[in-house]
Structure formats: C-alpha cells, structure tokens
Amino acid sequence: MPPIPAPCGSWRSPISARMLAEQSIGIGAIALDGDDLYWLEMRPADGGRYVLVRRDAGGHVEDVTATPHNVRTRVHEYGGGAYAVDGGVVWYSNAADGRLHRLERGSPQPRPVTREGELRYADMVHDARRNRLLCVREDHELLAASRSPGGAGRPPEPVNTIVALPADGEGEQRILVEGSDFYAAPRVSPDGARMCWLSWNHPDMPWDGCELWLADIDGEGAPANPRLVAGGRDESICQPLWSPDGLLHFVSDRTGWWNVYRLGAHGEVEALTAERADFGQPHWQFDMSQCAFDGASRLVCSYIVEGVSRLGVVDTASRTLTPLPVPYTYIASSLRAAPGRAYMVAATPDTPRALVSVDLDSGDATEVRSTTRFDIDRDYVSAPETVEFPTAGGRTAWAFHYPPRNPDFRVPDGEKPPLLVRTHGGPTSLSPALLQLDVQFWTTRGFAVLDVNYGGSSGYGREYRRRLDGAWGIVDVEDCENAARFLVEQGRADGRRLAIDGGSAGGYTTLASLTFGDTFAAGASYFGVADLELLARDTHKFESRYLDRLVGPYPQGVEVYRERSPIRHTDRLARPVILFQGLEDRVVPPAQAEAMFAAVKAKGLPCAYLAFEGEDHGFRKAENIVRSEEAELYFYAQVFDFAPADAIEPVTIENLDSH
C-alpha cells in the first residue's frame, strides 16, 4: 500500500509511550571481575529501580540485587560509581538509605558495611592489599556553618572527602584526603603501593579545571608525599587509570581537546594521542570511562569527532591510534576491556542502545543485552542527519536532524512538518547521533526533530564548550533559533509550527527561547530553570557555583541573573508552555516550575503543569514517563490543531480558549 497523505502529528505510530517506558530499560556502569560481566539496569516498569546484573563465563544472566534494594548513589546528586566488585564480592550503595552493602557470591542476603546516617558514598574501589574500600564520601551530617560555610548568600554545604573503610565493615572509617571542595576517582596502583585521585574547588566544575594528584601509600595505609602531576584552573583532567604495568594514564584537555596522556617512569607527562577529538566528556557522574586496557601496551578508547563516537586502539609503545571498523555512532562513557575484547553500551543510527562485546582484532560485535524488549521495523526509523548551520557572530554550530518517517503516511502536498527542537541538559552535555526511541515517538507521528548541540556542548573541543562562558541564555538560545530557521529556509519544516523542549538546563534554554525570542510557537520544560538567581541560592553543592562561569559571579552580578531569568520577564512571553516537574527534585526544586506556571497562567497564556510525586531530577517511573510523553503530544495537538491517533488522557490546559 502506498503511504496515505495525512496531517502531520496525526499519523498512527507503532511506537507508543507505554512501550518506551515499560518495554525499555537503561543500561550502564559496566564492570569486569574475572570472567564475570556486571552492569546496572534502570527499570522504569519497576519504579525506576537500578538493578545490578551479572553474566557469568557460561553466558548465564541473573540479577544480583533484589527488591527493594536500588543500586544508586546521590553523591553530587547525579551519582555514578554506585558499586564495586572484586573476587566475587560486590559492594554497592542502596538509594533508600545511602548505606554501602556487601554481598558475597552465593550469599542469600547483603549486609550493610556502613552505619545509618546522612553519609553518601560513591566511586568505590577495592584496595585488595589492605582489604578495604576507598571511596568518595559526602557528609551531610556536618552542615554547620563553622565547618562548611556555603559562601555569601548561600547555605552551608556537605563535606566531601576520600575515605577508607574496612571491606567487611568491621572497623572505623578513615579520612585519607580532605580539604578540597570535591573529589573523584581514588585509584590504587596494581602493586598497591600508590594511589591517585582528582580534586577541584569552587567555582570550577571538573570539566573546567581539575587536578590530578599522586601519592605513595605508607605503612599505615595513608597517602604520603602527595604531589600534583597534572591539571589546574584552566586544565580539565578525567579518567585516571593505571596500566597493568603500573603507569598512570589520564585524559587532559590541555591542547583544547581531551586527549590521552601518561606519567612516565621519571614523572614526565607524555602524550599518547594528539587528535582533534574528545577522549573524554564532562563528568556529570562518577566512574565515567572512555579508555580501558586490554593488555600492558594496548589501550582501547572511544572518542568523539563532531559529536559522533568512534572506537580505536592506542598502541602505548608506539603511541599510535588505530580506528576500529565498528558501525557505532554512539558509545557511552562506560567502556571496559579484557584481553582481546571491549565491552560497552553503544548504538547506531538504526539500532538502539545495547550492551555489546567487540572483538578487538576483527571489530565483530556481539549483543549482550538490549535496552528494548520489542523489535523495531527499520522502515519506521528516521536516521540522524548531521547539520552544520550558521549562527550568531559568523560562527557555525551543530545539530542532528531526524525527518518524519512512517511508511504508512506521508506529508500532504502543500504542508511542511512541524519541528520539535530538543535542547540537551548540562548545559555542558551532548546530544548524540543514534536511534533514540523518544525521538522516533515524534518522527513516526509526522514531526521532524532537531537535536541541537548549541555552543557550550561537549564533543567539539574546549573552545566550543567555552562559547557558553558568561553567555548562558544567549548563545544557546541563538543557536536553537538559528538551527530551526535553517531548516525552515531549506523547506524542511513549517515555520509557524516550531516547538522546543528540554530538561534541566535544556528546560532553561526552552523557557529562555520562548521568553526572549520569537522563533518558537510553543514549548515544554522538564524540571527546567526559570529563575537563575534562585538556582544560585538554592541548589545542591556540586552545581552551586556553576553559574559563576556560565552567567557571572553571584551575588556581584545579580542584575545579570535577573536579566536572563524567564520568570522575571513574563511580560515578554507570548507562547504556550507546558511544564513537568518531579516533586523530590533537589537540583532544580519544584518552586521554579510552580512560580513559572503561576506567572504564565496569570498572564492568560495557554499553559499546563504536571507534577509527579516520588520523582527527582529526571523521571524514572514508567507511569510518569508515559504520562509526560503523551501530555506533551496532547499539548502540541491543541496548540497546533491536529488530532493525534493515540487515545490520550486529556491534560488540563489553562487559558486554552484565549489562544
């Protein structure tokens, strides 16, 4: 049957919001322990619980952790590094209480190895020589101003340290490193004689300025003779790792790109790669990795060129990089390696994310676990097209365009498809090129989607990342508007039906675009920032000084904060907006969305607000993922006047009759 002409937005799609939520999982945090492969699965159908899964040498796959345990940590709020495994023993953080638990293979029950209290742990590593865990601890019990003042106009902060604790839980914890605002990546050398770690201080974020420290470990197990070996206020260091023969390797952006280096036998820093590519990404979470050894002189790496991932092998003796012929355009920052093989979460333009095993000699890949539990007919898949477009200041920026695609329908003659511009979070993050089911949800219904990597995004070098310094709310807005206009000028989108959405920092860009610009006709903000001044005063420690670089020092630059806050300029807002918010969100508290909704409603604009109990920064429960996805579609249907093929529970839209 030839495709039927039908209004865009009304096409019947084989991809439902319920399928996205209930038949999809998240996969990450890969670890190897001998012949065993471990990973974490985030299961929306199980209330968003994170479950530790193991595949043994025989290929048998089983859950390691059971209900109600949720393997997640809230250090830095974004977590990561929530478990460690060594010799069949697993240590993990349980989200409900933040305590570390120990689970031995074959044992029916885990047991806690840390006490109850307001202590959080992340980035664990087992120091086998001393049978202890080294980890980052975030102490929320010491929120006394005398110990940890938050600074002018800011509340006191938790205290971060690197601690050692007995692996069996029998004994006291010991602080090994303290004094900096933040720590990450405590790593012990293969012989147990040395340790390294990362540290940084306010107002820097680790992708702006970070230090790599190295120390001997003395007879009492404490770091001795600590020395700074790389990094500083204008150099970002990430992913320290030891080679099997005991050389310290790391990733640095000292040349303007995150490349791979090592510390030589005499303390000299040697470059192993010199590519116009990023072998690192902003470490929003702990234990991110794009590099792993499969032998003493072979380092497996993923790296990003113009937003697209590649896989290669570095010969550390000759310092040469050899690309591997794999089809993946996206590789997550959780790469591990064993002799001859690499393990990673990867995707292609027409296959969704999956945990795969790659033969490093042939490049052949084997799927271990898919993130989807249903097959996708490739005829319905819209593949990403790289778009380089002109933007403000004579510069260019980047995006990935997904045109509408559904073999059962076509755009009627004389009609152009509506366009949904997506703004990623961070804002120092990246929209990758891959098959994303939440994108296909829209393209199979007749929408075009444009994922914009505005100035400030990672994957394009340090200079591109720094375009946003002092210009958040300006550069990102200009780039999103210019990206949309570029497609309209090419005749690939309807200039009257341009929508924009995003979460967190992307929610701010969405609200700023609707408030300060005139390109978009509607938008959806997911737990987005509406008041920059409120965010500077009321957010978690990790990001409490992030805006110093993106906007300006606070409170000295308070007028700039107010000038760029959408909530303070609703008189300029003339577009419908829907807001989504988790009521347990500590990164962007609900007060932001509530204030924005009240202001837009009072102005008489069409608007809606959906708040979800039990959700924090990002939705994890299946029912809330379904509701928010369908509600956004319903909202655009009312604003753009089309009838979705889906049966959707109506959304209460204020002031709709006035539109």
Write the secondary structure of 412-443 as one string of H (helix), E (strand) and C (coil).
Answer: CCCCCCCEEEEECCCCCCCCCCCCCHHHHHHH
Which pLDDT band, with edges at 50, 70 and 90, does 146 fall under? very low
Q: What is the pLDDT of residue 150?
A: 53
Burial 620-636, CB ≥16 within 10 A → b, else e: bbbebbbbbbbbbbbbb
27 part of a folded domain: no
The arithmetic mean of pLDDT across residues 286-293, rounded, is 97
The arithmetic mean of pLDDT across residues 443-464, rounded, is 97
261 part of a folded domain: no
Q: What is the pLDDT of residue 657?
A: 81
Q: What is the pLDDT of residue 610?
A: 96
Q: Residue 440: which domain range?
A: 376-658
Res 65 pLDDT > 90: yes
Kindly report, residue by residue over 473-496, the tens digit of the pLDDT: 999 999 999 999 999 999 999 999
Rounded Cα gap, residues 42 and 25, in angstroms: 6
Pair (345, 403) in one structural domain? no
Pair (321, 468) in one structural domain? no
26: nearest Cα among 89, 79, 100, 90: 79
473 part of a folded domain: yes
Kindly report, residue by residue over 355-372, the tens digit of the pLDDT: 999 999 888 999 999 998
Pair (361, 394) in one structural domain? no
Pair (316, 396) in one structural domain? no
Which pLDDT band, with edges at 50, 70 and 90, does 537 fall under? confident
The arithmetic mean of pLDDT across residues 561-579, rounded, is 95
Q: Which of 66-75, 578-587, 603-612 has the lowest mean pLDDT?
A: 578-587
Rounded Cα gap, residues 609 and 81, in angstroms: 34
Res 519 pLDDT > 60: yes
Res 533 pLDDT > 90: yes
Q: What is the pLDDT of residue 315?
A: 96
271: nearest Cα among 208, 210, 319, 212: 319
Pair (365, 462) in one structural domain? no
Residues in the chain: 659
Q: What is the pLDDT of residue 145?
A: 42
The arithmetic mean of pLDDT across residues 526-555, rounded, is 93
Q: What is the pLDDT of residue 16?
A: 92
**How buried is residue 343: exposed, middle or buried, by Cβ count under 10 Å (0-12/13-18/19+)?**
buried
Residues contacting residue 521 through CB under 8 Å, at least 6 positions apart: 496, 497, 498, 499, 575, 576, 639, 640
Task: Read off the tokens for 52.
Answer: 């530790």
Pair (409, 389) in one structural domain? yes
Which pLDDT band, with edges at 50, 70 and 90, does 153 fall under? low
Q: What is the pLDDT of residue 144?
A: 44
The domain boundary residue, chosen from 372, 403, 436? 372
CA distances from 316 to 209, 230, 249, 338 (A): 26, 19, 10, 16
Tokens 């366009």 sit at which residue? 419
Kindly report, residue by residue over 165-214, the tens digit of the pLDDT: 999 998 899 999 999 999 999 999 999 999 999 999 999 999 999 999 99
The domain boundary residue, chosen from 317, 346, 372? 372
Res 147 pLDDT > 60: no
pLDDT > 70 fraction of the chain, expressed in percent and rounded:
98
Tokens 């010969």 sit at which residue? 315
Q: Which of 15-29, 40-54, 635-649 has the lowest mean pLDDT?
A: 15-29
Which pLDDT band, with edges at 50, 70 and 90, does 154 fall under? low
Burial 249-280, CB ≥16 within 10 A → b, else e: bbbbbbbebbbbbbbeeeeeeeebbebebbbb
CA 315 centroid distance within chain: 30
Res 148 pLDDT > 80: no
Pair (483, 589) in one structural domain? yes
What is the DSSP secondary-structure string of 337-353? EETTEEEEEEEETTEEE
Bridge-based pairing state of the strands 223-232 and 119-127: unpaired
Count of domains in the chain?
2
Which pLDDT band, with edges at 50, 70 and 90, does 11 fall under? very high
Mean residue pLDDT across the chain:
94
Q: What is the pLDDT of residue 616?
A: 85
Pair (517, 529) in one structural domain? yes
Pair (298, 355) in one structural domain? yes
Pair (503, 358) in one structural domain? no
637 part of a folded domain: yes
CATH number at 414 reads: 3.40.50.1820
210 part of a folded domain: no
386 part of a folded domain: yes
Task: Read off the tokens for 219.
Answer: 């007879």
404 part of a folded domain: yes
Pair (562, 577) in one structural domain? yes
625 part of a folded domain: yes
Task: Read off the tokens for 432.
Answer: 């990758």
Rounded Cα gap, residues 243 and 359, in angstroms: 20
Pair (346, 422) in one structural domain? no
The arithmetic mean of pLDDT across residues 392-418, rounded, is 96
The domain boundary residue, chosen from 372, 399, 433? 372
Res 151 pLDDT > 60: no
The arithmetic mean of pLDDT across residues 215-236, rounded, is 97
